[in-house]
Structure 1
Amino acid sequence: MVEFTVPEVDYTRYTNRQLAAVPLAVLVVALLVIAGWYVATGAPVNQGIEFTGGTEIQVAVDAPPAQAEEQIQQAFSVEPESIRSVPTESTYIVTFQSDDGSSVNPSMLEQQAEDAGFEIRAISSVSPSFGGDTQTLALGGVVAAFLGMSLLVFAMFRTFVPSIAVVISAFSDIVIPLAMMNVLGIELSLGTVAALLMLIGYSVDSDILLNNHVLRRSGDFYESTYRAMRTGVTMTLTSIAAMIVMTVTATIFGIQLLAAIGTVLVFGLAVDLMNTYMLNLSLLRWYKYEGVAR
């Protein structure tokens, strides 16, 4: 049986500014990426057809991969947004997005696929208006979850610095994965929105665990921190390992949605380790020794 031991970090070697500098710098870079993406594309992150509207058609093409993609490009009068292969089934998922608000005619695409000699495995379509409503509901759910989490944290600790430390960490845990989605070409979909909601839960869990050990349990600051790390780091690394396995498996079998969710969660959980045990901890130590709690 493999035993995992969390190393005890000597935090006395680092000042609060040094601990907070790295996560804050990463957060600033992430915000710049999102802002630049918004200026360039009109949206902070690329959106899937669930939010913009469009059509997704799954076809089987009897040709080598390079030739198959070329045949798919030539078969349709509308340029595909993306063409993804499913290796285990020798099929291709072709996405047509309605970015300009106009709808793509599924019947026309189906007819063109049949004329090209493709075998149609599945076809689904979302209207631009329905996609816009779905986007509003999904993003509204994320905002409501974040605000509810913030109110709950302030009600639990009733002091500004420990509470704002949790909120900032949770905010960073969402923003940095969003920036990574832009860099890696992962679209915002209902699945990735669910992953972001999960990250809020993971973030609050690890941050509240640290705050409770430091502020409400016996022992000095560093002893309490290490007790929290033994549980929190082990829990997060176990989740990261599980998400990596899911991502690799989903990629091999061509399950794009699960691969996207797993990738977002892997990056988000890694960011959560940084924010919890560097940014949050630096604010807690300042509060404990230099702030109003002194």
Structure 2
Amino acid sequence: MEEEKEGKKKSIEEARTTESKKESEKPGTKETKEIESQNIKKQQQEQKGNLNKEENQEAIKKQEAQKTPLSPELKPEEPKAEKKQDKEKPKIPFYERWHKLFIVIPLLILIISLAFLGLKWLNGQELIKKDVSLTGGITLTVYYGKSISLADLEKKFSAKFPDITIRKLSEVGTGKQIGLIFETSKADKADIDAFKQEVESNLQIKLTNKNSSLEFTGPLLGKSFFRQLIRAFIIAFLFIIIVVLVIFRVFIPSFIAVFSIFSDALITLAILSAFNFHLSSAGIAAFLMLIGYSIDTDILLTTRILKRKEKDFNTRLKEAAKTGLTMTFTSLIVILVAYFLLISPIFKEIFLILIIGLSVDIMNTWLFNASVLKIYWDKKEKQIK
């Protein structure tokens, strides 16, 4: 009986639920309209959200494709710091890798120069040939426009004057010959007339005050003048050593700066000697000028490396190189122009020595000196750490 009652109750409840479902499914009821409106709103919101996401993704893709900076929220902060550090500490790869080799190359050239000059001295030869202004002798300038072979002319003079040298005087711009310069170390006044006669017979002209000029330097005067110039050179070098030591007060950088100057002068002397260059009093003056040029760049480099405190080694070296190389190259350009424009043998001698010396100084200062200072800097930093 009880089971029949429970079955009837269930059937009644099922009938009620079916009726309620039918009523809810009827169109036009308030509840169904509210449900439909809510569903439509949800769909619209979802569509808007999807559209916004798609627009954001497209904007980011465009920015990446065009490599445009992202918005402040998306920009990482760490790369900025790395870029700033890179700017503050520039690297010079070839100095980091090859600075020890840069020390060896100038030293090898210096050793070769010393060996060359040493062999000449051991064989009893002069380190460099001197002209009549330093040894004494006769200098005869003849204004002679006809072209002539200097080698053939020297052969004709070699029997009586074996040490004679003959040079051409040329016109600026055109290069046309306007005269000849004869030099011999015969220092006796009795040889002057014989020398003039030899010139007249070979050139087939009569020498007068209008077409020639003669200079005579006694042997004692020439030798004493040479000693005075060498003494002046040594005194200037010693004063430079004192000034450098007073300025830097550190042995290694001071020694390297002075060593570079010595190397400049010695290598230049060896190059001139190898080409049988005749040195005059003007040439010694050019060597004094070369010392001045060399010490300028060495002091500039050493001061920038040691005295600056706010920057690292590479930055200091770059700044020093910009200034120093600009100075040297501008000087070289001016000297080269003057060398090819001027016809005076004295000026040509001075300019030639400066051209060779300044070229050697670039190697000694910016390869040797800078590389030694790099090693000195690294050791000093390790000691501080």
What is the match of residue 3 of structure 1?
Answer: none
What is the match of residue 229 of structure 1?
Answer: 321
Aligned partner of residue 90 in structure 1, secondary structure: strand
Query: What aligned pairs does 1:135-150 form with structure 2 within 5 A after superposition?
Result: 135-150=226-241
Cα distance, 1:237 vs. partner? 0.5
Q: TM-score, normalised by structure 2?
A: 0.67
Is 1:246–2:335 an aligned residue pair?
Answer: no
Contact conserved, 1:45 with 1:178, CA < 8 A, in 2? Answer: yes
What is the match of residue 217 of structure 2?
Answer: 126
Aligned length: 282
CA spacing shift, 1:38–1:247, aligned 2, 3 Å: farther
Distance 1:68 1:172 in 2: 35
Point out which structure has higher relative CO (alpha carbons under 8 A, 6+ apart): 1
CA spacing shift, 1:104–1:236, aligned 2, 3 Å: farther
CA spacing shift, 1:67–1:187, aligned 2, 3 Å: closer
Cα distance, 1:78 vs. partner? 2.5
Deviations 1:229-262 (A, max 9, x none): 1110000001111111122223xx3x22222211
Is 1:180–2:263 an aligned residue pair?
Answer: no
What is the match of residue 70 of structure 2?
Answer: none
Cα distance, 1:15 vs. partner? 4.3
Counterpart code for 1:85? K
What is the match of residue 189 of structure 1?
Answer: 280
Aligned partner of residue 144 in structure 1, secondary structure: helix
Query: What aligned pairs does 1:208-223 form with structure 2 within 5 A after superposition?
Result: 208-217=299-308, 218-223=310-315
Deviations 1:140-198 (A, max 9, x none): 11111111101110111111100001011000110011011112332221111111111
Cα distance, 1:107 vs. partner? 3.4
Query: What aligned pairs does 1:1-150 form with structure 2 within 5 A after superposition?
Result: 9-40=92-123, 42-61=125-144, 63-66=146-149, 70=153, 73-74=156-157, 77-88=160-171, 90-98=178-186, 105-114=191-200, 116-119=204-207, 120-150=211-241
Aligned partner of residue 125 in structure 1, secondary structure: strand
Aligned partner of residue 84 in structure 1, secondary structure: strand
RMSD: 2.6
Counterpart code for 2:340? V
Structure 1, unmatched stretches of 5+, are 1-7
Match for residue 163 of structure 1 among 254, 258, 263:
254
Contact conserved, 2:154 with 2:166, CA < 8 A, in 1? Answer: no
Aligned partner of residue 279 in structure 2, secondary structure: coil
Counterpart code for 1:249? L
Structure 2, unmatched stretches of 5+, are 1-90, 172-176
Counterpart code for 2:278? E
Aligned partner of residue 182 in structure 2, secondary structure: strand
CA spacing shift, 1:67–1:28, aligned 2, 3 Å: closer
Cα distance, 1:75 vs. partner? 10
- The percentage of aligned residue pairs carrying the same residue is 27
Is 1:262–2:351 an aligned residue pair?
Answer: yes
Q: TM-score, normalised by structure 1?
A: 0.87
Contact conserved, 2:164 with 2:183, CA < 8 A, in 1? Answer: yes
Distance 2:120 2:286 in 1: 21
Query: What aligned pairs does 1:191-206 form with structure 2 within 5 A after superposition?
Result: 191-206=282-297
Aligned partner of residue 183 in structure 2, secondary structure: strand
Greater Cα shift, 73-82 or 172-181:
73-82
Distance 1:59 1:102 in 2: 20
Cα distance, 1:18 vs. partner? 1.0
Cα distance, 1:293 vs. partner? 8.2
**Larger of the two Rg values belongs to structure:** 2
CA spacing shift, 1:62–1:269, aligned 2, 3 Å: closer
Cα distance, 1:79 vs. partner? 3.5
Counterpart code for 2:220? S
Match for residue 281 of structure 1 among 349, 366, 370:
370
CA spacing shift, 1:264–1:104, aligned 2, 3 Å: farther
CA spacing shift, 1:256–1:141, aligned 2, 3 Å: same
Aligned partner of residue 94 in structure 1, secondary structure: strand
Contact conserved, 2:137 with 2:218, CA < 8 A, in 1? Answer: yes
Distance 1:29 1:53 in 2: 32
Distance 1:71 1:24 in 2: 39
Counterpart code for 2:185? Q
Counterpart code for 1:93? I
